[in-house]
Each structure stands twice: as structure tokens, then as C-alpha cells.
Chains A and B, each alone.
Chain A
Amino acid sequence: MTRRLAVVTAGLSDPSSTRLLADLLAKAGRDALAERSEEAEVEVIELRPLAHALADRLLTGFATGDLAVAEKTVARADAVIAVTPVFSASYSGLFKTFFDVLEPGSLDGTPVIVAATAGTARHSLVLEHALRPLFAHLHAVVAPTAVFAASEDWGAAGADGALVRRVERAAGELAALVASRPTGERPDQFDRDLASMGDFEQLLRRP
């Protein structure tokens, strides 16, 4: 059974270290699933080209085009890898906006790796102070290992392989979470509303 792995990356430059980290995690995630004999289909969502659509989405209340596709991709994913640059002591506004506009329940129970990049390792606790609570609020299941990459991790200081080991550990945790979850299509918001509604006699009697 093929598992869907959605990678959300909020880097703004090209190439961006955020995208680099996202790609490392995606590859590690695919490998970790393969070790469990699970095939993975990776879909990468770059938020930069969706920036205007996200602003429109806030104003109109609905998504169109590529943004609608991206929202569906995340909502039906078996696992999500979410990577943001650190801006002003937190995730970037673009990153947050994407998760703000997702249909409620889109990440309910979804295994997620949270990851972030910054110029210095001094920002690394953003993962625990900002990203983990955000995904807890969204009812995602966040892997215990969060992954942070500072500028030095891409250079000589990273040569000891600490970042790679961290990436692999997070990917292993993600694969274990995915393997324990059922496969198949997930109901969307409308289906869930419908399922919880009951018939009209029940609605009439509801206290």
C-alpha cells in the first residue's frame, strides 16, 4: 500500500536551506518507510508560489487552483513534513497562514515532523515553543524528534553528521507512526459534519 507523504516548505529564496532540509527529511522518510516495506509517494508543496493565493484565501474563505490542490494534498496525506524558516522568534507568517486556512480537522491524527532553519542555532527552541504547540492544536501527532538546521549545519561544522542522524531519527519515528495508522481515504470536513449530525429527529431532540 502506497503511503502519501506531503512536504510543506516555507523557504523564500532559491535555493533555500529550508527546502534543502525538507528534501533531506523527505528522502529519509521514504527510506524509513521502505524499511517497513511501505512505499511512499512524496508530494512537495512550496508555499512561496502560493503566497498571493493564501492572501486571497483569507479574504474570500475559499481556495482555488494550486492552493486548493495543496490543501487537499495535506488533508489526505498519511504523513506531513513541515519546514519553516525562523522569522522573528517563530515560524514565518506564510507558513502559519497555510496552516490557518486548512479545513478544520485536516491534520487530525496525522503524523508530522516539524523542522525549522535559521542563521544560528540559538533559535532552535522555536520548534518546541512554536511549532509543536501549533501542531498539537491541529490534533496532529508530532514525532518526538524535531529537526533544526542552522547555517553551520550545512558547512564544516555539520560534517560530523549530527544533522543527518537527527533527520534519520525523526524519519524513523515518523515511519513508525505511519505504519500504525490505517490506510485509505479520509473523510473531509463535510463528510465528518454529516457523520456527526445524525438525522433530523435527533437534531430536534438535541438539548
Chain B
Amino acid sequence: MEYGIFTVGDVTPDPTTGRTPTEHERIKATVEIAVKAEEVGLDVFATGQHHNPPFVPSAPTTTLAYIGARTSRIKLSTSTTLITTTDPVRIAEDYATLQHLVDGRMDLMLGRGNTGPVYPWFGKDIRDGIALAIENYALLHRLWREEDVDWEGRFRTPLQGFTSTPRPLDGTPPFVWHGSIRSPEIAEQAAYYGDGFFSNHIFWPPEHTARMVALYRARFEHYGHGKAEDAIVGLGGQVYLAKNSQDAIREFRPYFDVAPVYGHGPSLEEYLASTPLSVGSPEQVIEKTLGFREYAGDYRRQLFLVDHSGLPLSTVLHQLDQLGEVVAELRKHDLAAVPA
């Protein structure tokens, strides 16, 4: 079981001070957060990919390579790499280069993105989202496994005898997760290739996650990659920690109330009751997190969102100190769960 954090890289004003970090500060903060994640014993750091304000991570492999040079153990990943609007040839090259630079200490998560206007900037149409995810990955999968690729598809220039360079490190393609909230096609895709399936699991109630994970597990077995219970499931999550729950709620509420995703909607208490969001004491967060496997089964990777909605860097670093302790406790439960 791996524990880590994932960032969307938003530049959001801190609602308690009104101060907005510069892009420079946000990018540097992302690096500090990743370095800290390694320091407190987390296993994975993942960044999103966005091409529109207020987000900064448009070039994830550049950021990840820089973090790779400043760390030695933590695995670097994405959440997500846009398989729809990024040329699969560039994904093959960029991530293979990253794989060499960090000695294999990486993987990636593919996603479609959810921002309509982004598609035409890259010559694509959001209505083709699923078809793009399927065709582009079919090409990416071959580029990392075959040296001379002939290719013709709907969405990019044909290739003849094309070799993507560099070749994957030691001939082993980077591990791929497919991320989705509710498109069964993506669970099917992950199952078909025997890749990992990652459920976003932060904004919506767990019922959606449960159905998608169950579908992926059944189809993973159907395609002959192993037993359903051994399918490679990852989950998102979102935490805000304090020594006691009252402080956690009080500190997080101003950020929650105006957050770009759920602000101005349900109360924090309602959101806590109906979604995987965890705001509370370490004991409460541990209990809620352990509850995820009741509907997702035993899973392999848990990523938490900790640095969004204008939370200042100092707060995020303090959150990571506490998260490190929570994860140490969670690992004890994982060990206990391993059959003798």
C-alpha cells in the first residue's frame, strides 16, 4: 500500500488574508511540498496538468524532474496527465525521459480533464473525450513497447517506422493508472490493459467510486490479468488535520466555504457526511480512511489532496507533518490486514 499526496496546482487567494501567491511562489511551493512529503515518509507525490489559469502545472515532467533531483526515495506521478489533448508521442518521450532521470522512480496517471475550452486550444473537441483517451493510449502503449511503429488513427498524423526515444528504462514501460470519476469506458480501458485504475474520490459520494471500482475489478479478471481482488486500485481523498476536531473544522471552514469546487454550496458538515473529505483529528481521519476499503476493497494507493483553495505553504507543510504521523498509523493497519 502506497500513501501520498496529489496537487491540482491552483493559484487561489487565501480567503483569511486575501493574499494570492504569485505563479513563481506557487511553483516553488509545489516543490517544497513534494520534498516535505518525502521527508515525512510519504511514498508518492503527484501533480496535475492544466493549461488554464488559475492553475500553474502545465509542464508536469519539468516539475517532476526538478523534484526528482531534490529527493531520493519518493515516487513521482501525475494526477492527471491529459491523454486527450496531449500528443501521445510527446507523452511517450517526456515520461520516458523522466523515467531515466529519476532512475525509474515514477509512474503516471492518465485522465481526460474536465475543462471544455482546453480541447480546441489543442485542436480537439471535448465530445471526442472518450475516443481520444482510447485511441491516444492505444498509441502510447505501443510506442513504449515497439521500436518501429506504423500508426494510423483518427486524431493525429500517421506514423511510419517511428521510434519513440528514449526507450523506456531497462525496457520497462512506466506503470500507468487510468483516472476517472464515473466513465465506465475508462475502468474498462484500465482493466483491458491490466493497468491501474484510480478513482478521483474527492468531490462525489462514495457510491460512484464503489460501482466504478467493482466494474474495474470484474473486468480486470475477465481480461485475464488476475483475480478481481488483486486488481490495482487507487483512491483519492482530501484531508485537513488538527489535534482535535473542533480546531480542524474551525481552521478549514474559511477555505472550504469559498473553495472553487464546492464553495458557496453545502455546509462543511454536510460535505463531510456525504463525501470522502476528512477534516478532523488524526483518529477521525484514520477511521474514515480505513472505511474506504469497505466499499473499494483492498487497494494499492491512497493519495490525499492537501494544498488547494488558498491554504498557505506554511499550513500545508504543517499538514504534512501531521499526515506523516497518520500514515504511519495507517501502515500498522495495513500490516495487520496482511494474511499470515
Contacts and interface: CB of A to CB of B under 8 A. Distances in A.
B205 A204 contact: no
A190 B207 CA distance: 11
A149 B130 CA distance: 47
Interface in B214-252: 215, 223
A206 to B, nearest CB: 7
Contacts of A60: 203, 262, 265-266, 271
A61 B215 CA distance: 22
A1 interface: no
Nearest to B212: A190
A203 B223 CA distance: 15
A61 B203 contact: yes
Contacts of A190: 182, 184, 211
Place the interface of chain A in its size category: 10 to 19
A59 B134 contact: no
A64 B188 contact: no
B205 A64 contact: yes
Contact of B274 (A64, A193, A199): A64
Contact of A206 (B131, B211, B273): B131
A203 B189 contact: yes
B138 interface: yes
A199 B222 CA distance: 11
A197 B185 contact: yes
A190 B209 CA distance: 12
A65 B266 CA distance: 12
A1 B203 CA distance: 39
A59 B189 CA distance: 30
A55 interface: yes
A100 interface: no
A199 B191 CA distance: 11
A62 B188 CA distance: 23
B262 A199 contact: no
Contacts of A193: 183-184
Contact of B215 (A59, A64, A194, A206): A194
A62 B264 contact: no
B188 A199 contact: yes
A45 B303 CA distance: 39
Interface in A60-88: 60-62, 64-65
